Every structure is written in C-alpha cells, then in structure tokens.
Structure 1
Amino acid sequence: MKTKNLLTAAVALLMAGAAQAQTNTWTSYSFIEAQGGVQLTSTNAPMDKLITPTAALSFGHYFTPVVGARLHVNAWQSKSGLASTGQYYKWKYVTPDLDLLVNLTNLFGKGSDHALNVILLGGVGLNYAWDNDELKDLNLPANTMPLAWDKNRLGHNLRAGLRLETNQAKPFGVSLEVNANSLDDRFNSKTNDKDDWMFTAMLGLNFRFGHKKAAPRYVTKTIEVIDTFEVDEPITIKVKEKQPKTKTETKHMKMNEAIFFKIRESDANAASGIDEAIKKVAELMKCSDDAMFTVTGYADKGTGTAKQNKKYAKQRADDVAKKLVEQYGLDAKRLKTDSKGDTVQPFEENDKNRCVIVTGEGTFRITTTEMVEVEVEKQSTKKVQKTKTREVQIQEEIK
C-alpha cells in the first residue's frame, strides 16, 4: 500500500508539472545528442587505474517540458584488474538503454525557458561485452578467476543518473551527465554474488528540433455589435442581349473527313484522342439520309513493312466502321470499308498518313447558328441598407 501511495504521488506530481508547463512557450520537442567522457567499472583495484574512455549517442523526445524519453547507446572500453598482482585488462562493450527523463527544473520551477536544467533519469537495457583477450593473455591460474568469460557476454543493465543541460528552448545545447549502471555480476570477469557497477561521466552536444508551441488560453466575453448591412430587393428590368438563332439548310455536298492514329495504333477504342474525331464524323454522317460512305484505312510509308502497314490500315478501317455502327447507330448498309495500306499517301506529312478517311456524297442537312439581339425582361435586385444589433461572444487570449 505504501508503494502504491508513493507511485500515485509521483504521477500526480508529474501531471501537475505538465499542466503548469502548458502556460509556457513550447510543449514538446525531439533531440539527438552525441556524448564523450570517461567510465569506471568498480572492483578491488585502485580507481585511478580503471578509468577508460566512453562515448554515447542518443535520440529522444520530450512529451511535455517535464517528461521525456530517449534511446541511449553507450559504448567503448571497460577495464578491471587484480590489485594483488598489479595486472590489468581491458575489453569492449556496448549498452543500449531506454531511459525516462524528468526535468526537475521545469517540474518545480516556473516556465520552461531556463538557462540551466537539472534532469533526473532512469532506464533499463542490455549490455553486450566482447574482446576479453587481454585477460586471457595474462595466463592466470585456472582457480584465480574461475568465472572469467572468454566469449561474448550478454547481460542486463539498470541505470540511474543526473544531467545538467543548457536552455532547452534553443536548437543547440551542451550537457554534463553522470550515470550509475548496474550490470551482470560477471561483466568484469569476477563474481561476488551481486551486480557489477559502471559509473560514467560525459559531456554532450545536442540538437533539438520540432518544438511545438503551447496552445494559447482564452477567456470568453459577450459584447454588443451593431451591424450595417445591405439587403437585395427584387426588381424587373428590360435588357437587350444576344441569343442564338439556328437555321437548317439542305444541300448536296461531298464529305471527306480524316481520323488520325498514332504509330502502331489500330484499335479505335484504345487509341487516344480518337473518340472525339469519330464522334465528329458520326454527327456529320447522320445529317444525310441518302449518302453512301466509304471508310478507307491508310498507313504511313516511313515506318514498318508493306505487309505490316496493310494489316494496320485494314484494322483501322474495320474498327472505325464498327464503332460508327455499334456506338453511333449508323446503318451498316450505307458503309463500306477499304484499305490502301501504304500504297497511297493522302498527305505530304508522313505521320498524318496513319489515318482513316471517311468519304461520301449526298444530300446533307447543314445547321448554322447566328447571334441576334433581342429585348428581354430579367429579374434583378437593388441594394437597401439596414442595421441590426446583436450580441456576440469573443475569445480574448490570456497573456
């Protein structure tokens, strides 16, 4: 029960700090940091002989100005020794951890724009050690260190630490961090039935990005507003405007319309841009009740072989005729198809000869449209100005 009460109090304290942080200029951000320093793995040997270099890289995110988390990877070199013989040995390690970060300065202070922040951290992770050759090279008696490992070693890591960090509202910052890491008992090749301890002290350079602004707070007020506005009153006016007037004439004429295909196209349903061309031809053909039409296919002489071109020309004529009948309802008895292959080139430009030409002669109904000016009555409006008083609610930002 006592532990539960302590956890409840800690959560309440963090939530209070997060709520207070909502009045600040930012609420969250991400960061990446590189660190370098020294580490000490404790054992029964002089401490000044056990210090080795260490480095770390981390990526994290502050969810509020108080609470954050990071993925932290610490690695390089560790050292231990035998005080009785004055012999020392080194090995390599890497420790990835997931850490919780609590900004004590923002938790207990006002605002989040502090020159220096004190941050408490704790985390869990794994420790992987390797390259223990220096210990093996000492050729110690087997009973001296019976649990020394000679292959790679994987164990747990528990961490607690404290860091000092410059203003977190700025994009760049520096930090000083000290950590205590609880590792597997055989990490230093010795055993005493309790975890080994590694202590680190590192300086860091970090880059912060993606700061999100805190949502502003507002108070609602009611005020009276006098609106001046215009309304439209309906009126009828007479205006002159141009309207289309159509007339239809019947005359004897010859038809000659071309439908162009791209290279290697023969399918009128698939060829791009063909639909509009066929539609235009079909509408003109429907204007005659007695004309007979010939759908002739062609191919350009500049590409392909005569055999291929003969095939393409015939397919083009057949597909266009089929579409005119099936899609546009033309009488198949008034159509015949022909194919010239590349033996006839109706156009000087080579590419235009990939085409189908529809020809015919007979009586056509030709409809023309012209614009004439007429006087018409239209409904319009005139503006009338009016006023109205109303109550509105406004939100005013709390500074």
Structure 2
Amino acid sequence: MKIKHVLLTALFSALGVGAYAQDTEHNWFIQGQLGASYSLGDADFGKLVSPAGAISVGKYFNPTIGARLSISGWRGRGGNGEGRPAYGFYYGAATVDGLLNLSTLFAGKNPDRLFNASLIAGIGYNHRFEPNSGSFMGRLGLQGSIRLNDAFALNLEALANGVSDRWNKKDDHGFDSYYNVLVGITYKFGTGFNIGCPDCEPVYYPKTYSEKEVQALNDEINKLREQIANHKCPEPEPCPEVEVEQVSKPALKALVLFGLNQTNVSGDQMMNVEAIANYMKENPDSKVDISGYADKGTGTDQINERLAMERANSVADELANKYGISRDRMKVSSNGSTIQPFSKNDWNRVVIMIAEE
C-alpha cells in the first residue's frame, strides 16, 4: 500500500503545482490523470481491471508537434485462468511521448478551437514491484482535449502499452500488454491564470534595465532628436523684390519606453513627454500622433493590442493632465505587436509621438 500512497501523493502534488504556476503561444503544460488499466491475461474481464494514474510535463514546439515526459502506473492484474482468483501487483513507468495534434495538422491552427485530437507515440521503461522486474516498453494512443479556457483543458486519453513477458509474473507470451483509459486536466503555463482570484488582472513584474541599457536607449533617442533638429529646408538665396515663403517648423518625434507589461510612464521618460508638450505650446496649431506598440516576443495578439493602447492613453493623459494639452490636438492609436519599429525586441515596448503643424 505504500506504493499506492506515493503515487497518489505525487499525482495530486503535481496538480497543485500546475494550478499555482504563472504567464506565448506554445506554452509548457502539465497534466494530471486518473483512470483504469486493463491487463491481458487468463481471467474474466472484470478481474483484470485496476486503477491507474499519470503525471506528465511537456511542450508543443509548434502548433502541431510536441513532446512530454510521463510518469504513470499504479496497479496491474494477472490471472490463472477463467473462474480462478486474479492476482495484483504494483508497477510504475516512465516514458518520453511524441505528440501530433491531428486537429491542427488537418484543420489548421486555431487557439480557440473547442476540441483537439492528438496522436501519442512513446518509448520508455516499465518497472514491476514485488518482486522487482524491469523492461523497456512502447506505447501508442489517442488523446482528446476539450478547451475550458486559456489555461485549462479537460483531456481523455486511451493508450496501448507493450512490455516484456515478465510484466504479469508469467512467461506465457512473447510479450505482455496492458491498456489505459485516463481522464484528467491539462494546465498551460504562461496564461496569466490566478487560481486565488480568477477575475483579477495578472500581476506582471517589469524588467529591470541596467544603467548601460538605459544609456544605450537614451543615446538612440538623442540621435533621433539630432536627426530631427538637423532636418531643415535650405534657406533661399536672397533676391531683391522676391518674397521669401515661410517654411513651417519641422515635425518633432519622441519616444517613451516601457518595461515588460508596464503601462505607466516612468520618471526617466517624462523628459520626452515634456519635449512634445513644449513643442505644442510653441506651435498652437500643431497636433500630435501618439502610437502605442508592444513587443512580439511575449504575450498574445489580444494582450499586446490592449497593452499598446493603454501605453498610448497613459502618454496622452500626461500631456493633458500635466501640461494642459487639449485632447482635440491628439490622435491616439494602438499598433499592438503587428508592427515592430525596432529590430531589438525589447525596444518595441514603446510609444512613438510625432508632433507637427
């Protein structure tokens, strides 16, 4: 019974870890499953059914192909002929399983699909206890998964497992086999799900930039400012009786950088907002285009669209509330992560302001 308690403890511990884990598209996942196992043998069908469980951790490398490490086992059964009592034993197995999402393969990628079917094929090691005996094993099966939300899915799995002839304590075939039907829950990491407060917004911790990184960003901003300042139309040659046409002041461009999942304007970026405010005060007819962006390396399209808009609105609020710039002179928009103005991923957590008459 000690083996039974250990397997149950490990299974529910893994489920607990999965429920409290935190936040791209192809997430790591953890699965906890319980069900029944049927062993081929010389006994009535009902006598060869026993409990089974599994814990798996894996990852999809693209929308179609993935892999997992699975620890399974519990109770096996064997028989000495129909009408005779069956005998039981404990076993455990560790396998590396390849996963092929058949729904994505044949119907295309769809993160919001309600049902996905996947093919499972794996190899590993199986160990029987009391008495001890081990062997390599192979397995093949199918898994159906029903999407509950972004974080959780309900799965139903059927597996055929091939092991050595010693598995059921009898040398009566070339090899033994047993079959599992398991039901469980899959949790996908990186979804921002908070089991303590399902309706709460996830907490994001912004990246801390080193002094060297901040200096590099400020140097890039100053370089852009210098390019804008030096972009002037040439003065016309003075000519008698010729009226010189007045040239409008060049546009002013400034950037406001944000940390990972950050939407508030930090203190070291306020000088860039102030530069736009001063330009607009000096040029009462000028207007400003405020465009928010998010980096493509993290988050989903929906999350990035929201982050980019919140960043743009945060800059607009500073111009209006702190510097008194009318909102009628502002155009606020979000480009999400569909447009990446910079080649470096982290620089795309930015709001770009362009003020001109």
Please say which structure displays the higher CA radius of gyration: 1
Structure with greater helix percent = 2
TM-score when normalising by structure 2: 0.47
TM-score when normalising by structure 1: 0.42
Structure with greater strand percent = 1
